A and B are shown apart, each in its own frame.
Chain A
Amino acid sequence: MTESTEKMTGARALIECLYREGVDTIFGYPGGVLLPIYDELYDADIRHILVRHEQAAAHAAEGYARATGKTGVCIATSGPGATNLVTGIANAYMDSIPMVVFTGQVPSSLLGNDAFQEANITGITMPITKHNYLVQDANELPKVIKEAFHIASTGRQGPVLIDLPKDITVQEIDFYYPDKVDLRGYKPTYQGNLQQVKRAASAIKESKNPVIYAGGGVISSNASKELLDLAEKIKAPVTTTLTGMGGFPVEHELFLGMPGMHGAKYANYAIQESDLLIAVGARFDDRVTGKLKAFASNAKIIHIDIDPAEISKNVKVDIPIVGDAKWILQKLLKYTESAQSEKWLDRIAHWKKVHPLHYVEPATGDGIKPQYIIEQITEACKDAIIVTEVGQHQMWAAQYFRFSEPRTFITSGGLGTMGYGFPASIGAKIARPDKVVFDIAGDGSFQMNSQELATAVQENVPVIVAVFNNGYLGMVRQWQELFHNRRYSATCIQNSVDFVKLAEAYGALGLRATKRSEVRPVIEEAIASGRPTVIDFVVEEEENVSPMVPAGAAINEILDLERKE
């Protein structure tokens, strides 16, 4: 339906488009070329969250998107504002998160002139966006925005950037919002090929040792219910990747934990011994497969993915099914027969018993093991949203938190971005104010975006940052310990800052635990406070993430690394 047109500026049109896309929150930071847009935002019915660094705007928009499934929106000014977004855009691209990014740009007449604060952001972000636009005429703006939201949120989701020269935002146009997009080069496949589904069903029937390997695609296609139904029907154990975590209940007897480098041993053993690997919305990342030649080498592989380019990119696939995971799993459920694979499940139960995930409690004293904190957070608040930074603490969160629903684990998977977690947790908490939101942080990572404490306090976003303060860039230190003779080159960051005072300086609550017995009480205190909180957990310094597959090894060559006290 065509609405009656109305005259307005590009800036006003932008706001109108956001209303029509149902955007209630945007994360951003102003600048000269954005003045007309910020003037419109001043009394718009959209919550604008003023971050303290544009990188945080992108991460927060992503956290918002991951917590809800909606498209996250952020905005930054031309030049440095735009380039500050780059890490966040790359992060969303690697993890296929729907996001629309607006950047200001110098006026069209100055483009290409090296004008003040000009950066060719469409050129810079070409390889890290699903698509991007440089708007050349304000009359095109509504159509471009409509397309951007469509592209970002459909097919394999991802970030789309719209670059807005300043003159576009003041140009008068006859506003009209199209209700359809017609992109002849973009027609994602949702419904899988039924013939392939039937082939998969018969492969499942023939299989004795099936394993389901589920990734972030299960979360984005909201397919966790179907995944659970299928697993139960065919009695196949399920391993979920880092970004797939939450897609299958951790406490379910068919759950295998995470696969790969820091996965559970039994997950890796099961994959290696399987005769059928059913990959759903996962992309055979090198952190999962280890040595590619030796990965699941006895298994037939079914690969369900919305992105045809992922099929046989890394591992040769026997039965590809391109389409939406939810749709395909529903069909697969219809065509598969119930199965019993008792022998197989017995073997897996045996592995689970002999090779559980475990850590050694300190023999003496009252030291804090990082894994213990995760267990205590689970017990205190099992339905919390867990966001993480990047490093050892991230792996412990994935290994030890007992997730029970999708969209409760938000982590930087593909890019591994330190500094991601805190701003992403702010976005998640704004999206889900009903949830307790933790940022599981390293002392190194938190310092990459700790300025966002100002945002959390000003906007009253009560997230809890649990700093696992080990005095090291721990994950790098672990590799130095194992492969570089304990030469801790540039990884010691002891006594960087007093995290309690840092929190207080921003007006947030600062808490500290130095003893095991204090862990649970500070967690409870933080939750009860209802304020943005930083907890400084002073943990064992040289704890290692275990088990571990050394780089280049097959995933069943997985070693225990825990430190004996």
Chain B
Amino acid sequence: MRHTLAVLVENKYGVLSRVSGMFSRRGYNIDSLTVGVTDDPTISRMTIVVMGDDEVLEQVTKQLNKLIDVIRVTDLKSEESVERELALIKVNSDVTNRSEIMQIADIFRARIIDVASKSMIIEVTGDDGKITAIEQLLKPFGIKEMVRTGKVALRRGQKSS
């Protein structure tokens, strides 16, 4: 099972290595980890996607809470939250297939952000399924390079407690 955790931490030197060190020391696998500052500049928010059953999730949560610099850990259940990831995909293209690729981008509400003579870069935002789907469709043209940000997520409705 994949779980998405929102982890509020002190925005301080060394916090990222405390968190990632805890994961590796205890043998938990991080699928993705993103971090950025919040509306309060003293607090950063990490979104961590971790694989494991409920017992693993419970231990991960408790071990995170044990870190002094961790302020709060929230399990973002997918039905109660919105999740997004951004990907940049550089795909082979020339005059013969450019419009075909643009059509695909259109369907996914992706944007073309760079066009060169032999390639173009597409920016797409969505959940995991959407990004995987466009990736599959672009593969036949030849993907030269691709980067994904990792997932970020927010709980729907009021400020997550």
Which residues of A line the B interface, CB within 8 A?
Answer: 122-123, 126-127, 130-131, 134, 136, 151, 183-186, 307-309, 311-313
Contact = CB atoms under 8 A, between A and B. Distances in A.
B68 A183 contact: yes
Nearest to A184: B71
Contacts of A127: 21-22, 25
Q: 3 closest pairs, A vs B, by CB?
A: A309-B62, A131-B68, A185-B71
B85 interface: no
B67 A185 contact: yes
B139 to A, nearest CB: 41
B63 A185 contact: no
Contact of A136 (B10, B13, B62, B65): B13
B68 A308 contact: no
Measured as residues with beta carbon below 8 angstroms from the partner, the interface class of chain B is: 20 to 34
14 contacts: A122-B14, A123-B17, A126-B18, A127-B21, A127-B25, A183-B68, A184-B71, A185-B69, A185-B71, A308-B62, A309-B63, A309-B65, A312-B55, A313-B59
Given A151-B68, A309-B62, 7 more contacts: A126-B17, A127-B22, A131-B68, A134-B14, A308-B62, A309-B59, A309-B65
A307 B66 contact: yes
Contacts, number: 39
B70 interface: yes
B58 interface: yes
Interface in B52-96: 55, 58-59, 62-63, 65-72
Contacts of B17: 123, 126
Nearest to A128: B25
Majority SS of interface residues in chain B? helix
Contacts of A136: 13
A177 B132 CA distance: 55
Contacts of A122: 14
A185 B10 contact: yes
Nearest to A307: B66
A185 B63 CA distance: 13
A134 B59 CA distance: 28
A134 B69 CA distance: 14
Contacts of B9: 185
Contacts of A312: 55, 58
Contact of A308 (B13, B22, B25, B65): B65
A184 B40 CA distance: 14
A185 B68 contact: yes
Contacts of B70: 185
Contacts of A183: 68
Given A309-B62, A309-B63, A130 B68 contact: yes
Interface string B1-40: 0000000011001100110011001000000000000000
A432 to B, nearest CB: 31
Contacts of A151: 68
Contacts of A130: 68
A245 B95 CA distance: 80
A186 B68 contact: yes
Contacts of B14: 122, 126, 134
A187 to B, nearest CB: 10
A126 B72 CA distance: 20
A131 B70 CA distance: 12
A309 B66 contact: yes
A130 B58 CA distance: 20
Q: Which of A123, A308, A309, A312 has the most CB of B within 10 A?
A: A309
A257 B59 CA distance: 31
Nearest to A130: B68
Contacts of A313: 59
B60 to A, nearest CB: 10
Contacts of A184: 71
Contacts of A131: 68-69
A35 B18 CA distance: 31
Contacts of B25: 127
Nearest to A136: B13
A259 B58 CA distance: 28
A523 B21 CA distance: 48
A122 B12 CA distance: 14
Contacts of B66: 307, 309
A307 B67 CA distance: 12
Given A127-B25, A309-B59, A309-B63, A134 B13 contact: yes
A404 B13 CA distance: 47
A119 to B, nearest CB: 16
B12 to A, nearest CB: 10
Contacts of A186: 68
Contacts of B63: 309
A162 to B, nearest CB: 13
Contacts of B65: 308-309
Contacts of B13: 134, 136
